[in-house]
A and B are shown apart, each in its own frame.
Chain A
Amino acid sequence: AQSVSQHNHHVILSEAASLELGCNYSYGGTVNLFWYVQYPGQHLQLLLKYFSGDPLVKGIKGFEAEFIKSKFSFNLRKPSVQWSDTAEYFCAVTSDNYGQNFVFGPGTRLSVLP
């Protein structure tokens, strides 16, 4: 069955530190990849997405992600985090092979210390 894993359950960083959150998926075929963010008390919001083309995708709020097909990975990065980036981050994948069901990773909680 298809699955999405995220490397870290909880990441704690100081402001201005660089961020990289890992995401790996388990299935082949054509995939669409997403990162969603859930700020405390708010609903899930789309950060960025990859469908095709340039594997380096830029999203909102200075986030970017790189799709590495050979590694089945779609890691999220930000060069310098802010306290306001404290949130839970979810990687999600859809695949032509699985009827375009969204499969979400378990999430990574990011805490940024001021």
Chain B
Amino acid sequence: KAGVTQTPRYLIKTRGQQVTLSCSPISGHRSVSWYQQTPGQGLQFLFEYFSETQRNKGNFPGRFSGRQFSNSRSEMNVSTLELGDSALYLCASTDGDTDTQYFGPGTRLTVL
């Protein structure tokens, strides 16, 4: 099976702009989670979607949002970008039979 894919791999934006990141999970995986990874804060959970519904949410402001489509593909959106949003954004899909997460390569977002 193909792994988790994320697009784009790199993004450069300026403060105040918004951005949309995309994630395609492993075929058959219905749960998609998003994480923000930074050198200072490590891996922080953003939210999880399962069958098009947000099932869990981390402690991030409302500028961070997401959605999941009927084919399990997911997008996350960050509005009104701030310098501190510069990070590697990771998507992971979960094998529902083994509760194991598989990660994509990430999208590196730089906010100038």
> B residues within 8 A CB of A14?
none
Counting chain A CB atoms within 10 Å of each CB, the highest count among B35, B48, B100 belongs to B100
Nearest-neighbour CB distance to chain B for A56, whole angstroms, equals: 19
CB distance from A99 to the nearest CB of B (A): 5
- Write out the residue numbers on chain A whose beta carbons fall within 8 Å of the beta carbon of B90: 43-44
* A103 and B42 contact, CB distance less than 8 A: no
The answer on a CB contact under 8 Å between B104 and A43 is yes
Among B42, B45, B92, B104, the most chain A Cβ lie within 10 Å of the Cβ of B42
A102, B33: Cβ atoms closer than 8 Å = yes
Given contacts A90-B43, A106-B42, contact A101 B103 (CB under 8 A): no
B55: which A residues are within 8 A, CB to CB? 99
Docked pose: A51 CA to B99 CA in angstroms:
9
Say how far A98's CB is from chain B's closest CB, in angstroms.
Answer: 9
Residues of B within 8 A of A43 (CB): 90, 103-106
Interface of chain B residues 3 through 40 with chain A (CB within 8 A):
33, 35
Min C-beta distance of B8 to chain A, whole Å: 15
- State the CA gap A48–B62 with chains docked (Å): 34
**In the complex, what distance in Å separates the CA atom of A90 from the CA atom of B90?**
14
Q: Tell whether, in the assembled complex, residue B45 and residue A101 are in contact, meaning their CB atoms are under 8 Å apart.
A: yes
Name the A residues within 8 Å of B98 (CB-CB): 49, 51
A46 touches B102 (CB 8 A): yes
* Residue A67 is within 8 A (CB to CB) of chain B in the complex: no
Give B contacts to A, CB under 8 Å. 33, 35, 42-43, 45, 48, 55-56, 90, 92, 98-106
Cβ contacts A to B, 7 pairs, < 8 Å: A32-B99, A46-B102, A90-B43, A94-B99, A99-B56, A101-B45, A102-B101
Residues of A within 8 A of B (CB): 32, 34, 36, 42-46, 49, 51, 90, 92, 94, 99-107
| Contacts beyond the supplied A49-B98, A105-B42: 8 A-B pairs with Cβ under 8 Å | A44-B90, A49-B100, A51-B99, A92-B101, A94-B99, A101-B45, A101-B48, A103-B45
